[in-house]
Structure 1
């Protein structure tokens, strides 16, 4: 079955803003307002949901959050749904999302990462609809560095477009911008050099070319979905990716042994069946005296026999690639011949 792409975003389109997981506390409300105005200034109509503000673990009761998300996903006027960020327990919505109705509806661009991928990745797996991983609403006012595309630009690309991005070779080593002190900040602090790292045993340091349909997701949340009806990767691969998958893993905060255990569990649940390669995010998550984050990945996935590239801009460390889940994808890692580190996707 063909992957379905939402219609390209155009000025005048409505963008729905809701928080299916964590809401925005009052002290960061000014940043939220800046992000909303950024969209309006570019000609979009912004529909602000009731489940958005608040400092609790979730923005509203489960049923209310699910109803609002379903309404936006099924409203043909809403051409994108963009949460402010992720959170912790968005998994509680999976049984309440109207999957069959969403699959039958005109697809809508859904954007985000972290806990947002807890429902974003199942949306792709269950419906075959492309989604956007790697940036969220609170990141939207940032100017993307050279080589990286803004999610609005990617979502506005015509069907059939080729979208190329490349690593800028720099990242933020520590800390975060203080949205409370400077809610209008729009320039990433990229204060450390860094490139991708090849990890698969026997091929460390070698160039690589990976192809397949991309499946991104946050390890700490996907481990709870793998092996359930919401995380049936083998079925998706059979139907939509007969030539194989590329996996993009966002490692947020768990220590290395926990990440290794999670990846082993995902592998046993079939998450990596049909994999042609694995991208692993750059992360600030800690190692231990006996295991680094890179070692955890190799321990769990080194036996797949596919290229594994780490320190990719597909996680919680700025900057963030805007990656289209389910898109046909080519990844080139050629550090020594001028080919650089690039991701090319085709929206076909």
Structure 2
């Protein structure tokens, strides 16, 4: 079976916004409106769903969130679904979605990261539909750093096309911006030098190819062993060339990340990995274990290149990664590239 790539977006297409996890509080409506304007200025019609309430940790009851997400995915008039951001408990939506109905529909681009990987990774694994990890609607006003693409660039790409992203060598050390005071801020504030770090003990260049799949450790670990995270079946059906697996930690301490990565490995998440990419994180170390050591403890026995501090986590900037894309990763002195082919 081949990967199903949604058709590229073109001016006049409709982009839906819904919150299958957390909605947008009133104090951040200015940022939300600024993000919507960026998408509209690109030539798209933005359709905002009913599940957007930001007064609690979820935007609506689970059934309503699942129904709206599924409806947008199966509406032929919607070409992309972009949540405002992640949240905490999108897992309650997973068993309520009719995944077979979604798989039978014309594929639609879905974009997100963090808790949204609870949905986009199963969507790719269950249906072979490509999804985009790496940004969200509320990040859209930021200017894209040199060497990277925006999620809008990716969803406008033709099937069969190839694009290269290169590490800018800088990241943002501060926390979240004050979007209340500066709702239209477009400066990521990349204030710190930082390159990729090889963790597996290898000293040579890394040059590996496989199909991309991955997401947030804290959310995906809860799906391990279920049909929603059956990476073995995906590799068998869609990736005979093997996988490039990426993971990233949001906020859990090193001990918790270590346990979660062990659990993912035991359940086959890394069985077909030709390499593992680990996102740069600001999550805390522990007294006797760093975040890097947590990765080595859980995954060091895989015998494949493990490259950390990649721009695919909660620390800005973020490369859009297309789950399912045939991907070449090159890491050597003076060069750290991710080349994705939509084939």
TM-score range, shorter chain: over 0.9
Alignment of 1:194 onto 2:194: yes
Q: Shift of residue 53 of structure 1?
A: 2.9
SS of the counterpart of 1:176? Answer: coil
Give the distance between the partners of 2:262 and 2:302, measured in 1 at CA: 11
Map 1:199-238; keep pairs closer than 5 Å: 199-201=199-201, 203=202, 205-238=203-236
Q: Shift of residue 120 of structure 1?
A: 0.6
Map 1:261-300; keep pairs closer than 5 Å: 261-300=259-298
Map 1:1-348; keep pairs closer than 5 Å: 1-201=1-201, 203=202, 205-335=203-333, 338=334, 340-348=335-343
Q: Shift of residue 218 of structure 1?
A: 0.3
**Mapped contact 1:198–1:206 kept (Cα < 8 A):** no
Report the RMSD for the aligned CA atoms in angstroms: 0.8
Q: Shift of residue 176 of structure 1?
A: 1.7
Q: TM-score, normalising length from structure 2?
A: 0.99
**Any idea what the Cα deviations from partners look like across 1:179-226, whole Å, max 9, x if unmatched?**
00100001110000000000003x1x4321121000021000000011
Give the distance between the partners of 1:311 and 1:59, measured in 2 at CA: 32
**Any idea what the Cα deviations from partners look like across 1:249-274, whole Å, max 9, x if unmatched?**
12111111110100000000111111
**Any idea what the Cα deviations from partners look like across 1:211-253, whole Å, max 9, x if unmatched?**
1000021000000011101111100000000110111112111
Q: Shift of residue 329 of structure 1?
A: 0.1
Give the distance between the partners of 2:290 and 2:208, measured in 1 at CA: 25
SS of the counterpart of 1:37? Answer: helix
Give the distance between the partners of 1:58 and 1:175, measured in 2 at CA: 22
SS of the counterpart of 1:230? Answer: helix
**Mapped contact 1:149–1:322 kept (Cα < 8 A):** yes
Q: Shift of residue 290 of structure 1?
A: 0.3
Give the distance between the partners of 2:105 and 2:182, measured in 1 at CA: 40
**Mapped contact 1:81–1:110 kept (Cα < 8 A):** yes
Aligned residues: 343
Give the distance between the partners of 2:301 and 2:86, measured in 1 at CA: 31
Give the distance between the partners of 1:46 and 1:175, measured in 2 at CA: 29
Give the distance between the partners of 1:68 and 1:304, measured in 2 at CA: 40
Give the distance between the partners of 2:53 and 2:113, measured in 1 at CA: 19
Give the distance between the partners of 1:217 and 1:226, measured in 2 at CA: 12
**Any idea what the Cα deviations from partners look like across 1:149-180, whole Å, max 9, x if unmatched?**
01101110111111110100000012221100
Give the distance between the partners of 1:216 and 1:133, measured in 2 at CA: 9
Q: Shift of residue 330 of structure 1?
A: 0.3
Gaps of 5+ in 2: none
SS of the counterpart of 1:280? Answer: strand
Give the distance between the partners of 1:211 and 1:146, measured in 2 at CA: 24
**Mapped contact 1:218–1:249 kept (Cα < 8 A):** yes
Gaps of 5+ in 1: none
Give the distance between the partners of 1:97 and 1:36, measured in 2 at CA: 26
**Mapped contact 1:281–1:311 kept (Cα < 8 A):** yes
